[in-house]
A and B are shown apart, each in its own frame.
Chain A
Amino acid sequence: MKVTIDPQRCQGHGRCYDLAPELFGEDDEGYGRVLGDGVVPPGEERAARVAAANCPERAIDLAEEA
């Protein structure tokens, strides 16, 4: 699983880095950013899904590749 943030949609609500701080962080203006390469480590899949499902702007994409 891999997460990405669409910077055109992200408005810096910060739900992703509240709910999944292992996967997301904030930049100097509060916009969300993906930590590392966005590949979700084992055990973090649920956090990734919760973060994506709580983004008010639907800015987080989850790619569920094998």
Chain B
Amino acid sequence: MTVDDRFTREFRQEPPAGTRNEVIAGPVSDWASDFSHLEPEWAADPYPIQDDLRARCPIAHTDRFGGGWLPTRYEDIASIAYDTERFSSRSIIMSNYRPPAEIAPVGAVPPISSDPPFHHDARKLLLPAFTKKEVARREEATRAFCHSLIDSFEGAEVVDAARDYAQHIPMRVIADMLGFPPEDGPRFRRFVESALEGVNLPPEERLARMDELFDYLYAQIRNHVADPRDDLTTYLIDVELYGRKLEPAHVAGTIALLLIAGIDTTWSAIGASLWHLAKTPADRERLVAEPGLLPTALEEFLRAYAPVTMARLVKEDMHWRGVDMKADDWVLLSFPAANRDPGQFDRADEVIIDREINRHAAFGLGIHRCVGSHLARMELRVALEVWLERVPVFGLADPSAVTWAPGQVRGPRTLPVRIG
């Protein structure tokens, strides 16, 4: 038997050279021609901006990030999500760095960064672990963990529903699935913030922070090579694709994806739902009285407060629905904007917790449908069930103190609520 030395430090690949552009930050002059999802105005409330753009300039542009587009109509967003021929996923976070074309079709964090046909095969490796049936096995432990978080509120009149509740739930669930130490949660939070909110940091700092993430992941992977366990990390170390084990960068990249995307998205969805209920007593009271409505309400929270926006890179220069896209232009794929398109949804700007027909795109459309959607739905449902059971009466302690994450994953990061 040979030793699995794929993950030793010496074999770490250098990050591929790509193209960089100057960081442009600061107030937006015109959202139609200078948009930025990293500015405070967007983080605080992007919906009026998106609604305005949809009405007057449905495919907005920016020169920031080296050039990019922001479609706000459902039909345009759906078309791009389905069009993997003309739009590449080789980078899915719009930043000031574009990885080289050679990184396709695998990308840095497969399968979300992968293009067909490789995408299908890399994704297939993950699907069985994330079915509804498989994630149901984690429901009991998730529920017990949510109860333990509420137990810790004992005696408090005001708690932070984002910091003290929402963030911990997906951190614990994904740490368990990957076989990582649960006490590493604060590190995970830093990794998430670096990957998704640190987009406009100086490039050296952004790279250093990504190195820190991958140093941590390779240490965890080596620990699993030495001490295999029944978890996703050991599974990815051992699994074969095309008759051989995965490239080390594929293993580490997929784990990075599961860790980052598994945490901040669900944290945001739980937080946004609690924010809505804290400021909407009628909906809160109705859900307390009718717990059976929660699965329907939850879909409406996902529609109205969809946390995730993806990005694509244009493959070749082209004229597309009235605009001239250039090769390597970014496209920000705003599922939140799609979900509030009045052309697709009745009363799109209202939160209707018993909305029965709700064909929302919170988990994306097409081949990149969120692989963790069943897990996210389970966590969101259990988190809200436990909260409403234990804390049926609550409200915003200070609406002006609520803060939202900027960037492509949006949710409350500070959410003081009065519970006593």
Contacts and interface: CB of A to CB of B under 8 A. Distances in A.
Give the contact-size bracket for chain A.
10 to 19
B124 A56 contact: no
Contacts of B128: 28-29
Contacts of A56: 359-361, 363, 365, 369
A17 B295 CA distance: 13
Interface string B120-134: 000010011011110
B131 A26 contact: yes
B357 A53 contact: yes
Given A12-B369, A28-B131, A18 B358 contact: no
Report, as a range, how many residues of chain B touch the other chain.
20 to 34
A30 interface: yes
Contact of B130 (A17, A30, A57): A30
A14 B361 contact: no
14 contacts: A14-B374, A17-B132, A18-B132, A26-B132, A28-B128, A29-B128, A30-B132, A50-B356, A50-B357, A53-B357, A56-B359, A56-B363, A57-B365, A57-B366
B12 to A, nearest CB: 32
A13 B363 contact: yes
B373 interface: yes
Contacts of A57: 365-366
Interface of B: 124, 127-128, 130-133, 295, 299, 356-361, 363, 365-367, 369, 373-374
Q: SS class of chain A's interface: helix, strand, loop or mixed? A: loop
A47 to B, nearest CB: 11
B326 to A, nearest CB: 29
B168 to A, nearest CB: 26
B367 A11 contact: yes
A52 B128 CA distance: 24
Contacts of B361: 56
B40 to A, nearest CB: 31
A24 B121 CA distance: 25
Nearest to B296: A19
Interface string A8-38: 0001111001100000001011100000000
A55 B373 CA distance: 14
Nearest to A12: B369
Contacts of A11: 365-367, 369
A49 B233 CA distance: 40
B308 to A, nearest CB: 14
A60 B373 CA distance: 19
A55 B130 contact: no
A50 B124 CA distance: 28
Contacts of B365: 11, 56-57
Interface string A38-66: 00000000000010011111100000000
